[in-house]
Amino acid sequence: MILGIDIGNTTVEFGIIEEGRVTSYKFSSDRYKTVDDWLVNIDFISRKGINPESILISSVVPQIEEKIELSLLKFFGIKPVIIGKDLQVPIKINYENPQEVGIDRLLNAYAGVKLSKPPLVVIDLGTAITFDIVNENGEYEGGMIFPGMESSIDTLFSKTAKLPKVKLEKPESFIGKNTVNSIQSGIYYGYTSLIDRMVEKINIYHGRDFDVIITGGHGRMISSGLYSQHKLIENLSMLGIWFLAKQL
């Protein structure tokens, strides 16, 4: 049994991984939580009967990473393996400065290579929306970064006096008949159109079709509205952690 922890800007996912099967628990990425606060969360998860052989952490938030690392050591007596520090993601990086590539993006690309045939593009719909390109040799080429869907709604709400903040969900109809539905339609169909068109441009740019993997917190919702052929793999990051753990 592996305990994988994916620390993102919005949520921290604790994944119990057994033979590639993932059971996840998500908590808010609250930078003000203390080591003791995280101990409470870990205690909650431990009641599910977990006894990890090893613990691996993927993180893009160093402040939270340090507190969770201390809480895990305190609770389990196991020093977590920090991906990117203690263990590198085994994928060749063709970025100008490889240090700039987030561990989450490399982990997605690595898992994508394990689960699909390159060339491929992994699209992660989280706080930001990232497109990560893997060439036919299984090497990380680079990609694109867009503001996330929630970020767009937050900006619209904060910058416009009369528009309400709405819940992010698939709208009832394509053409909104009220302000809430109009915003939902703009966000939902705007982003599905963006993804479809970007996949098309990636294929045209390379002169061949790429496999497409959709993942991230909003992956399932967006997946149903895409024209592009794709695989929906919601636990992609956790599966990447699982593949890395097998190297230990």
C-alpha separations of 125 from 68, 121, 204, 239 in Å: 24, 13, 23, 17
104 part of the active site: yes
Show Cβ contacts of residue 245 under 8 Å, excluding neighbours closer than 6 positions. Answer: 2, 4, 17, 54, 56
Contact assessment for residue 154 and residue 168, using Cβ atoms and an 8 Å cutoff:
no
Backbone torsion region of residue 138, taken as left when φ is above 0, otherwise alpha when ψ lies between -120 and 50, otherwise beta: left
Kindly state the tokens that stand for 138. Answer: 């299984």
Catalytic residue (choose from 36, 37, 86, 104): 104
The catalytic residues are 104
